[in-house]
């Protein structure tokens, strides 16, 4: 689906972080150039200048400098193409979904089409990544390639929470149960493994980012402890508890 078929206004626009891309290319290119210069310096050193014959042999390079230059040029071209592709990436957020425009292609994703979201830390990037599962074998990552990616992640989290909240309420109204991570929402309470807590017995709940603590009335604080897992949609547990129990710390 292309952008022409999208209704509404694009309220938010997110672009590739070009400054970051330029820094990456600059760093890699400089490293390559330094490497070439280092090797060429040894290969072009006349044997007579070095008092140790064996050292000269050890460091001598049999290829010509132009081959290094061609190699570094190829790397620079590859990085440049990557940069141009990355520069083309743009995300416009509309009322009913968002458009990803990259490499001349546009793809529209409705909020309801997102099957799930997973947040994890990428060791390579040293930052969090929001992975949106669009189908069984298709996903889209929101990472620090995009300027203001955390804001985009929070926006998508908010829109998806609203969709999942509707699913949860509809499911409970029909008498069925709804599971997120290892917690099951039932029409009359919450279940985690063998543990069950009725909604009427819950006094308050709070979250500290790594776990959710649910306290029961008149029970010396004993309730339910849910540790955040890295399963798909586990991040939405807090939003769904918000729907069922109201603001944290109060009920």
Partner 1 sequence: MQAKNQFKFPGTTQNQILTMALLLTLGTFFMIPGVLLLAARFTRDNPPDDAYLIQQLPLMIFAVISIGFALRFFLRPRWKKKGAEFVLRHNSLQINEEKYSWERLTLLSFVELSQPPRTTLQLFEGERGIFILTRVEPLMSELIQRLREKIEETQLPQLIERWQQGETLRFGNLTIHQTQLLQNDQVILLDEAKSWSQDEDGTLSIRDRNGRGMGIIFTQWLPNGFLLLPLLDAIKGESKDES
Show the site string, 156-195: x = touches partner 1 by CB under 8 A, - = not: --xx-xxx-xx--x--------------------------
Q: Which range in 48-56, 81-89, 148-156, 223-231 contacts partner 1 by CB under 8 A?
A: 148-156
Please give the Cα distance from 199 to 185 (Å, whole number): 10
Give the shortest CB-241-to-partner 1 separation in angstroms: 9
Measured from the CB of residue 157, what is the shortest distance to partner 1 in angstroms? 8
Positions 3 through 22 that interact with partner 1 (CB under 8 A): 8-9, 11-12
Q: Of residues 96, 103, 195, 217, which one binds partner 1 by CB under 8 A?
A: 96
| Cα 165 to Cα 102: distance, rounded to the nearest angstrom | 31
How far is the C-alpha of 151 from the C-alpha of 157, rounded, in Å? 10
User: Which of 150, 176, 222, 225 touches partner 1 by CB under 8 A?
Assistant: 150
Between 40 and 100, name the residue whose CB sits nearer to partner 1: 40
Sequence-ordered list of residues with C-beta below 8 angstroms from that of 45, at least 6 positions apart, any chain: 56, 59
3-class secondary-structure state, position 185: strand
Q: Which two tokens stand for residue 228?
A: 């955040």
66 to 95: interface string for partner 1, x by CB under 8 A: x--x-------------------------x
Q: How many helices (H) and strands (E) does the chain have?
A: 5, 14
Q: Residue 215 interacts with partner 1 (CB under 8 A)? A: no
Q: Give the up-direction half-sphere exposure of residue 13: CA atoms within 13 A in the CB hemisphere.
A: 7
CB of 137 to partner 1, least distance (A): 25
Q: Is 231 one of the binding residues for partner 1 (CB under 8 A)?
A: no
| Contact call for residue 28 and partner 1 (CB under 8 A) | no
Give least dist CB 188 to partner 1, A: 11
H or E element, residue 106: strand 105-110
User: CA-to-CA distance for 162 and 165, rounded, in angstroms?
Assistant: 5
The answer to whether 116 and 98 are in contact (CB under 8 A) is no
Residues 44-63 that bind partner 1 (CB under 8 A): 44
Answer yes or no whether residue 196 interacts with partner 1 by CB under 8 A.
no
Beta bridge pairs of residue 118: 131
Give the separation between CA 85 and CA 66, rounded to whole angstroms.
28
Strand partners, 175: none
Contact positions vs partner 1 (CB under 8 A): 8-9, 11-12, 26, 29-30, 33-34, 36-37, 40-41, 44, 65-66, 69, 95-96, 111-112, 148, 150-151, 154-155, 158-159, 161-163, 165-166, 169, 199, 239, 242-247, 250
């Amino acid at each position: 689906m292309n952008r022409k078929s999208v209704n509404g206004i694009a309220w938010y626009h997110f672009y590739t972080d070009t400054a970051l891309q330029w820094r990456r290319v600059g760093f890699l290119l400089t490293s390559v150039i330094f490497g070439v210069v280092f090797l060429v310096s040894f290969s072009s050193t006349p044997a007579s200048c070095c008092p140790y014959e064996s050292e000269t042999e050890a460091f001598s390079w049999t290829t010509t400098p132009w081959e290094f230059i061609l190699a570094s040029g190829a790397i620079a071209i590859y990085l440049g193409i990557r940069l141009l592709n990355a520069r083309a990436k743009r995300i416009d957020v509309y009322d009913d979904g968002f458009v990803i425009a990259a490499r001349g292609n546009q793809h529209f994703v409705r909020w309801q089409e997102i099957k799930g979201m997973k947040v994890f830390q990428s060791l390579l990037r040293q930052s969090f990544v929001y992975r949106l599962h669009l189908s069984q074998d298709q996903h889209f990552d929101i990472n620090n390639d995009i300027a203001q990616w955390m804001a985009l992640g929070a926006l998508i989290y908010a829109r998806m929470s609203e969709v999942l909240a509707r699913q949860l309420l509809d499911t409970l109204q029909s008498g069925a149960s709804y599971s997120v991570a290892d917690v099951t929402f039932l029409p009359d309470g919450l279940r985690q493994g063998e543990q069950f807590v009725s909604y009427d017995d819950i006094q308050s709940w709070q979250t500290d980012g790594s776990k959710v603590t649910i306290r029961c009335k008149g029970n010396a604080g004993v309730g339910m402890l849910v540790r955040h897992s890295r399963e798909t949609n586990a991040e939405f547990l807090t939003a769904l508890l918000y729907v069922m129990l109201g603001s944290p710390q109060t009920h």
